[in-house]
Structures are given as structure tokens and as C-alpha cells.
Amino acid sequence: MLITKAFSVQPHASALPEVVWLPSQLTVDYTKCTGCRICELACSAKHEGLFQPSLARLKVIRYDDLGIDIPNVCGPCEEAPCVEVCPVYAMRRDPISKMVFLDHDKCILCKSCVGACVNGVIRLDTREMRIIKCDHCGGDPECAKVCPTGAIQYGPISSGTTFERHSKIASYLREIEHSAETQSSKGGS
Amino acid sequence: MATGGYTGRILRVQLDEGDFKVDKLPQEWIRDYIGGDGFAAKLLYEEVPAGCDPLSSHNKLIMSTGPITGTLWPMSGRTVFVSKAAQTGIWGESHVGGFIGPELKYAGYDMLVIEGQSDKPVYILIEDSNLQILDAGKFWGMKTDEVTAAIKREHADPDIQIAAVGPAGERKVRFSALIINNARAAGRTGMGAVLGAKNVKAIAIRGRGAVEVSDHEAFTELAKAAHMRVRTNPQAQEMGKWGTWILTAVKQEIGELPTYNHRTGVFPGWEKLSGDYIRPRYTVSDRACFGCSLACKKMNYVREGPFAGTLAEGPEYEGLMAFGSGLGIADYPTTLKANEICNQYGMDTISAGATIGFAFEAFENGLITTEDTGGLQLEWGDSQTVIQLLEMMGKREGFGDILAEGSRAAAERLGRGTEKYAIHVKGLEVSGQDGRTHRSIALGHATGARGADHLRSLVVVDQLGYEQVARERWGADKLPEIIDPYTEKHKAVAVVESENAYCIRDTLIVCWYSVSWPPIFWMQDFADMLPLATGEKSFGDVKNLTKIAERQVTLKRLFNAREGITRADDKLPKRFTHEPMPEGPGKGQTVDLEPMLDDYYRLRGWDLDTGLPTEKKIQSLSLGWTKKYASSH
């Protein structure tokens, strides 16, 4: 219930999620991605000091039957589900860059952010038991630098499409709320 | 002492016992063989007994990676499958791109060795340390794309990488392949049949671990710089645009586009098989293998005509040749459909196309008739017949059952002088080159360890006239002959040196493209990179790398020698040595193989009469241990 409140986009809702203007973001052109996963390699090389795509802060999904490759990167999120969902305010926005960062000292490893991320790029490292999240390399993202085709870019964007993307998860959560309400009205506690 | 790059573990799947075993990777293997092909050659020689039936439980299927597999080095996502070949009964190897090699490394293994034979259909699941042999009864009979999707669904994980056997491999079609990511094939020499004979439908791998190199920062910097060398190379850029289709026009121009079963080297309909024609009409997306800046793979869609609705990757140049010019078909959609069928059934496009070409030419000359073919009229340029024959081969139905044996065995079965149209070396069908108009490949085809091979020693420097590269590599004194494709002179030098460099390429393992063509990385680049990756200082010396390469070539030769191969088998189809090129720029050319062979053996330190490595050479390469395994166990 708490989660779904956070995503409610009804105009009368009092707790509207924070919407911010993003100075710079990672953007993706699906038509250019070849699925080479150099971005995953370079990301893990930079942040982990080894080559391990399972710990990369972004993820390319390959559809071999269709010939389509879709890179999933962190953002753009004018309203950030990971921030809204975090129960202990460990996930916050940097006041200047507006980039969402994780305060590891506060994180209680509840993994809510892992589930809430619309792009599926917040991950749990099960070996060191920590949440892994992209920080746009502090404003100079490695993935955009190594991408051979320019499919991943970094810079200022227009934000029209991202609201649409988030409305999907909002409607999904509304449905959960609706069914939860129906069930409880049927004779729950 | 190697400190990085390797996982240090060999995973063995023992199908007889239904068990797994993890061995330590011996340090001296690293020192002497680097990885990839080298490791596999050592293991195969030691463990697969001489004279064994490739389809018996004594044969093993080895999947091998190299020290930089799974790292940021350009095009380092390849892997190799090695076995005693189902098609030829000698050394068998097949390299493949895609993503499965790195996945094996991330799961924590440098090599995978599949031993014995299962008594019922199974598939092998390797998920880090979770190792299982699972029932594949419900998957048996599925095409490779179907079983790939089914296994991913079964385990609810789209990131599982799968090497699949299709219906052809199940039926032990001699040139059946292993298919990865729907359209990447470990195509040649019949790896599908080896796995099919073991009753294994698929190898499914998922790894979440890491590959750590010795000097991470220096290696990463060098790898990034290497990527930039690829991206700024004009030919590599073209390659990214057109893929290997770029070759059609080049080959037509020099008269080396195999046409009508290698009868001639020019094809009137070549334009419809060229990148310029295909890309704007059919290509929908560019795709890459792991860690590649080029993206030479193309996804294509056919909008109209008899093959409308086909959405598939490919084919490569070799497929265009095999199903296009080779069969007199000037129609791209036919080659795409044929390629798709080969991928779905799991068959090698080169051998499948060449075997159909063999049948076409034998039919044209009246040596086989509709009585043999079950009523089928075989005619050059007939798309529908080609598609029908491929399905029959994949299912081993009717006449397809004979063709499924490959051209050499099919000719033996049919008799009547049909063998003159079986264009093969040591049982492996000749790839899309022609020694008459590209002399060095004649030597490469004749001496290749797995038969008529275009990937182990193909020299592009003479084929495409890279004068500057030739001068740097081999010295000005060998010009102009060494870049003249119509003379035998100095060709052994170019072949031996290319073969050595490609050996190192195949131990790492990196792709053909960026090493062999366009010529970007060569021995010195590997010598600069390998110590950073592995911490093994001796890899920094080109002389030592050359010796490791020689060791690998000679070890493969000893493997073949154990199976009875000698100089007498290093020969070409008469078509190349006795039938002058009938037309085109190379009109009148034939191959004079023997002098090139003499040069080659001399440079390799092999005996001129027998073509076998001399005792002195064996000792100098520290291959004395092979004696212990010289005869059958």
C-alpha cells in the first residue's frame, strides 16, 4: 500500500512523487545498439577492477530471434521509483546533478529498489551483500565513452518519452492496489 | 607463472557415470600452449585414442577458451570446439563467436570436456558451480532455435548461453554443426554429430563470476586503445557496414568467386549477392558478438517473393558463395533461407552447399539420374530444389541421406566416377576460395589440419595486394612475387607466417576480423598484450610466440599422422591442378602444388618425402611426449 501510494498519479493525491529537471542523462538509441556488451565490460572494469558483466551497472538484453538489442541504463528518471520506494532514505538525489545515489551506510538491503527500478539495473551483489547502482561515473560515464556505435550517449535531453515509460509501472501498481482493496473488502482484516 | 586471465579449472562432464569432475589447469600447458586451440590439441592427443570412431564414446568434445576470453580486448568473445572430426576422421576444430565462450569463463572454467556417451537424450547445465545433466527427452527433435528458447524458458533466464544440436546432429549428418545464439555456428567438421552421438542435445551455460587479468589498469588501457585502432581503420568500418558480403565484389574482381561447384571463378549474377545490393533491400539491424566494435552480423528480412517473411541473420560470404554463386543462384533470399535452414537443423553451410553442388554437377554430366535422386531434377540455379535438398539432408530423407555423408563419402557410395566432382581435401569441402587465382590458399587448403580450410592460414596480403604490409612482414626482397596471386614463389613463406600468427590468434581466442582481415593486430601486438593479461613474461617475446605456434601446428600434424595422414593426402582436387581457370582475370591459371609443398615442409621442419615432422623438429618443440601416445591405447 505504501509503495503504491508513492506512484499514484491521481491529481488529487497529496503525496505526489518529486519530479525534477535533469541536467544530463544517459540516453539510448535502440536502433544503434549491436548488443556487443562492451559497455558492460567497461563498466565492471572501471567500478570493480575486473571483467564481470553480472556486476555491471547497466545491462544489454539481446533478442536473437528478432535481431534487436536493448541496452538498459540508469535513468532518465524525472521521478525516481528507487528514491520513492526506499524506506530509509538511503536512495537520494544529489541536489546539484540530480543524479540518484545510494548512501551505503543507511542502506538496510531490503532490495525494494531492485524491484522498483523500471530499467532493472539496480542489482544485489550476493557475494558482498551490497546494492549496486549506477552513478553515471560522476558525470563522465564510461559506457557512453566506450560504446562503438553511439547507441549510449550522455548529455541534456528532452524528457517527453520518459513520463510515458513511468506511467506503465504506475498503472501496474494501481492494479495491484485495486486487487488488494477488492480482496480486503471481500472479508479480509 | 601465470597470474591472470585464466580461471585455472577444467570442467569434465562424464556422461557414462552421469557425473562432473573439476581438474586443475596445468601451469605448463599455459607456458607451452597459451590456451584455446593449443590446450585442446594437447588434451585431444593425450586422451582420444588413435583410430577410434569419432562417433563412439571414446571420442571427446572439447570446448576451449583463452586467457583473454571474456575481457575487454576487441573481438575476444570467441570459443573453439575440438574433437576428432565426425566428417573427416582427423583433427577437427570449429571456432564460433557469440557469447558462450565468455560465459564459460564467468562460470569459472577455461575448458569444458565432454566424455563418454549418455544412454538417453540429455542436456548439460552449467550454472557457476551448479552442474547438472538433465533429461532432454522433450527437446529431442527440436530445431536449434526452438531448443534454445525452450531451455531459456525452462530456467527462466534469458542470459543462459546455449550451444545446441539440431535434427541434423541428432541424425549424425557428417557436417552437422553446433549452433549458438540462433545463428552463430561452430560449423565445420561435424561437431554436431559428435555431440549428437553422445546423446547430448545442448550445452547451457550461465556464469556470474569474473575474469581477472594480471595488470588490470594497463591491460584495460591497451584494450581501449586497441578498440580505437579497430574503429578508426577504414576497412574495418566498411566491414561493419557490409559484413563479409563486402568480399563478393572483391572476389569477382580478382576472379576468385567460386561458381558452379568451383568450375569457374566469376559469376554473372554476382551483383545480386553483393553487400551494395543486399543491405539497402534486406538488412534490418547490425549485430555484434561479445566485445566487438565491428558488428559484422546482419539481421535480414525478406518482404516479398517465395521466401517472404524470412527474418534471419546471415549468411556470411561463405554462405552466399555456397548457396549463391556455387550453385548458380543469383538470388539473395534463397541464400538467406538456405542459411536459416542450415542453422535450424544445425548444418555447416559450406559443406552443405558444396555437397549439393557436387550432386548438381554429377547430375548435369549424367553420372547420377532421377533414379538416384528420387525423381528430383537437379539443375543449376534452381532455388526450390536447393531448399528441398537441405531439408532432406537435415532429416536424412531419401537422396538427402546420401548427401548427408558429405561429398567424399557420397561419391564413394554413388561411384560411377562421381568423385571428380567432389571438391574436397581430406574429406572437408573446399571453402569459398580458389587456388588457381589465389595461389597461397591452394597451399593452405592442401596443408590445413582439418582439410580444405580457409581460416587457419589464408593469406589476404597477396589476395588483396597489401604491398606495404607485405614489405613490413616479409621484407622488400620478396616483392613483387609475394603479393602476386598467380605465382607459387614465396607463397610458403606467407602461408607459414600467417599460420603462425593465426595460431596465436586461435589460442587467445580472438576473431579472424582484425587479425587476418583487415590486418590490424599481428604478433607484436599479442606480445605486448599477453604479459599484461596473464603475467607470463615469456609471452612478451615474439620468438617464443612463434615457437608456441609452431608447436601447435606440429602437434595437430602429429595427431593427423597418427590417423595415417602423410604428404600423399596433402593434395588438391584435380579441378585446381589440372583444369585451367576457364574465364575471368585469372583465365588459364592452374596450381603447381608440389614446389609449394616442398617449401612449406622445409619451413616447418617436416620431412619432404613423408610430410611428417622430423625427429629433430619434434625434440626442438618439446613434443617428445607425443611418443607415449603414438599408437592406439
Question: What does the pLDDT read at residue B460?
Answer: 86
End-to-end CA distance of chain B: 33
Q: Are B7 and B212 in contact (CB under 8 A)?
A: no
How far apart, in whole angstroms, are the C-alpha atoms of residue A127 and residue B575? Answer: 61
Question: Phi and psi (nearest 5°) for A128?
Answer: -100, 5
* 3-state class (DSSP) for residue A33: coil
- Looking at CATH, the fold of the domain delimited by B239-409 is given as 1.10.569
- A104 domain-assigned: yes
Exposure pattern of B24-59 as b/e (b: 16+ CB <10 Å)?
ebeeebbbbbbbbbbbbbbbbbeebebebebbeebb
* Site from A64, A68, A132 to mutate, B interface, most B CB atoms within 10 angstroms: A64
Q: Which own/partner pairs from A125-130 qualify as long-range (CB within 8 Å, at least 24 positions apart)? A: A125/A55, A130/A104
Nearest in space to B290 (alpha carbons), one of B571, B59, B102: B102
| Domains of chain B by residue range | 9-206, 239-409, 439-629
CATH class of domain segment(s) B439-629? mainly alpha
- A144 domain-assigned: yes
Positions in chain A short of pLDDT 50 = 1-14, 187-189
Q: Are B126 and B204 in contact (CB under 8 A)?
A: yes
Domain B9-206 has CATH 3.10.150.10: no
Question: Phi and psi (nearest 5°) for B426?
Answer: 55, 25
Structural domain harbouring A39: 2-155
Amino acid (one-letter) located at B463: Q
User: Residue B313's closest chain A neighbor by CA?
Assistant: A67
pLDDT tens digits for range B350-403: 999 999 999 999 999 999 999 999 999 999 999 999 999 999 999 999 999 999
Question: What does the pLDDT read at residue A11?
Answer: 45
- The DSSP secondary structure of B293-344, one letter per residue, reads SS--EEEEE--SSTTTT-EEE---HHHHHHHTGGGT---HHHHHHHHHHHHH
Q: Compute CA distances A155 → A28, A78, B149, B461, whole Å.
A: 11, 15, 37, 43
- A165 domain-assigned: no
Question: Phi and psi (nearest 5°) for B167?
Answer: -55, -30
**B196 contacts: CB under 8 Å, gap ≥ 6:** B165, B169, B170, B171, B172, B176
User: Residue A65's closest chain B neighbor by CA?
Assistant: B182
Q: Is the peptide bond before B518 cis (omega within 30 degrees of 0)?
A: yes
Contact criterion met (CB < 8 Å) for A38 and B182: no
Q: How far is A1 from chain B (nearest CA, A)?
A: 28
How far apart, in whole angstroms, are the C-alpha atoms of residue B447 and residue B462? Answer: 18
- How many CB atoms are located within 10 Å of the residue A180 CB? 13
Among B207, B211, B290, select the one facing A50 at the smallest CB separation.
Answer: B211
How far apart, in whole angstroms, are the C-alpha atoms of residue B469 and residue B191? Answer: 36
Amino acid (one-letter) located at B418: T
Kindly report the CATH number assigned to the domain that includes residue A53: 3.30.70.20
Nearest in space to B505 (alpha carbons), one of B159, B10, B14, B78: B78
User: Residue A50's closest chain B neighbor by CA?
Assistant: B212
Nearest in space to B243 (alpha carbons), one of B313, B280, B292, B296: B296
Q: Is B213 on the interface with A (CB under 8 A)?
A: yes
Contact criterion met (CB < 8 Å) for B287 and A38: no
Nearest in space to B581 (alpha carbons), one of B474, B436, B419: B436
β-bridge pairing B122-127 and B130-135: antiparallel
Question: Facing residues of A132 across strands?
Answer: A123
Q: Are B46 and B60 in contact (CB under 8 A)?
A: no
Q: How far is B237 from chain A (nearest CA, A)?
A: 11
- Here the cell at position B453 is 580450410
- A51 domain-assigned: yes
DSSP H helical segments within B73-141, as ranges?
100-107
Positions in chain B short of pLDDT 70 = 632-633
Q: How far is B215 from chain A (nearest CA, A)?
A: 10
Q: How far is A89 from chain B (nearest CA, A)?
A: 30
Contacts of B286 in chain A (CB under 8 A): 34, 149
A with B: how many residue pairs have Cβ under 8 Å apart? Answer: 91
Contacts of A149 in chain B (CB under 8 A): 286, 295
Among B210, B224, B299, select the one facing A67 at the smallest CB separation.
Answer: B299
DSSP H helical segments within chain A, as ranges?
2-7, 38-48, 81-85, 112-116, 142-146, 160-185
ipTM of the complex in this document: 0.95
Q: Are A76 and A159 in contact (CB under 8 A)?
A: yes
Contact criterion met (CB < 8 Å) for A66 and B311: yes
Question: Phi and psi (nearest 5°) for B446?
Answer: -70, -35
Q: Which own/partner pairs from A166-173 qualify as long-range (CB within 8 Å, at least 24 positions apart)? A: A166/A77, A166/A78, A166/A79, A166/A81, A166/A118, A167/A9, A168/A118, A169/A7, A169/A81, A169/A116, A169/A118, A170/A7, A170/A8, A170/A9, A173/A3, A173/A4, A173/A7
Contact criterion met (CB < 8 Å) for A54 and B106: yes
Residues in chain A whose Cβ is within 8 Å of chain B: 31, 34-38, 41-42, 44-45, 48-55, 61-62, 64-69, 146, 148-149
Q: Compute CA distances B585 → B460, B508, B529, B581, B589, whole Å.
A: 18, 38, 41, 9, 9
- The DSSP secondary structure of B212-250, one letter per residue, reads --SSHHHHHHHHHHHHHHHHT-HHHHHHHHHGGGHHHHH
- Here the cell at position B328 is 548458380
pTM of the predicted model, to two decimals? Answer: 0.93
Among A38, A61, A66, select the one facing B291 at the smallest CB separation.
Answer: A38
Looking at residue B465, what DSSP letter applies? T
**B561 contacts: CB under 8 Å, gap ≥ 6:** B612, B613
Amino acid (one-letter) located at A145: K
| Angle value at C-alpha B510, between B508 and B515, nearest 5 degrees | 115
Q: Is B180 on the interface with A (CB under 8 A)?
A: no
Number of domains in chain A: 1
Q: Are B383 and B334 in contact (CB under 8 A)?
A: yes
Q: Torsion-angle region of residue B36: left (phi > 0), alpha (psi -120 to 50) or beta? A: left
Q: Is B31 on the interface with A (CB under 8 A)?
A: no
